[in-house]
Amino acid sequence: MTNLVTLENVSVAFGQRRVLSDISLALRPGKILTLLGPNGAGKSTLVRVVLGLVAPTEGVIKRDARLRIGYVPQISQLMRKRTIEENLAMASMIGRGRRKVPMEERIRKALCMVGLKDVEKRYPVELSLGECRRVELARAIINSPSVLVLDELTASLDEDTIWDLFHLIGELNRLGTTVIMATHAKNFVNLMRKRVITLVDGRIFGDVRNGRYGDVM
């Protein structure tokens, strides 16, 4: 089975500050990989390396040529002066190879998949924080990505909303989407029991299959 993304001895430094050190890992199709660690451990930088937004200072990254990535950043990028439909349409136009399905149909399908209906003409300010994060998830999946990258999707949300989002992530994974996510949602990581990678000071401190929050062996 071909890895979707492979990192070999990757390090990242910003000036004199080393953020990641000697990271080696492989992302296999159909899996969920959870990145854990304290603030400043390097989770977001590792996410950005996987996305290709940050180039390694040292090491090698290999990506499958057919890789399609959907991304939900830690800080919301919804445009407040555009409707939900317009926000999703812009992501839809960026996607490649999806022109056979009309844009309006893809927008409705993506919103339905995240549990939102009839919000196309509304603006982000009219939705709750949890609903906005669902919209961002819909935007990330509108072009049917093979890999979904989530950077603290559940930050600042209540437990009911977090549970709903984790359920959606599980459903997307069961439909074949590979997921890599950075999170602090301890209780839900423990329920999911997927691969857990723990970062400490920019290094992999633990890599556990079917892991729980805090597992390093």
Q: What is the pLDDT of residue 119?
A: 96
Residue 101 pLDDT greater than 90, yes or no: no
- Kindly report, residue by residue over 80-95, the tens digit of the pLDDT: 999 999 999 998 877 6
Residue 56 pLDDT greater than 80, yes or no: yes
Cα-trace Rg, the chain: 17
Q: What is the pLDDT of residue 96?
A: 53
Q: What is the pLDDT of residue 140?
A: 96
Quote the percentage of the chain above a pLDDT of 70: 96
- Kindly report, residue by residue over 127-169, the tens digit of the pLDDT: 999 999 999 999 999 999 999 999 999 988 999 999 999 999 9
Q: What is the pLDDT of residue 50?
A: 95
Beta carbons of 150 and 157 less than 8 angstroms apart: no
Confidence class for position 217, pLDDT limits 50, 70, 90: low
Residue 102 pLDDT greater than 90, yes or no: no
Over range 42-46, report the average pLDDT: 96
For the record, the structure tokens of 28 come out as: 């296999």
Distances (CA, A) of 77 to 30, 35, 73, 135, 207: 27, 22, 8, 11, 31
pTM score, whole prediction: 0.91
Residue 213 pLDDT greater than 90, yes or no: no
Residue 37 pLDDT greater than 80, yes or no: yes
Percent of the chain that is helix, strand, coil (3-state, to 5): 30, 25, 40
DSSP output for 80-147: TTS-HHHHHHHHHHH-SS-TTS-HHHHHHHHHHHTT--S-TTS-GGGS-HHHHHHHHHHHHHTT--SE
* Residue 188: its H or E element: helix 186-192
Over range 12-38, report the average pLDDT: 95
109's CB contacts (< 8 A; 6+ apart) are none
Residue 26 pLDDT greater than 80, yes or no: yes
Quote the percentage of the chain above a pLDDT of 90: 79
Q: What is the pLDDT of residue 95?
A: 60
Task: Tell me which residue of 163, 144, 151 sits closest to 76, measured CA to CA.
Answer: 151
Over range 5-26, report the average pLDDT: 96
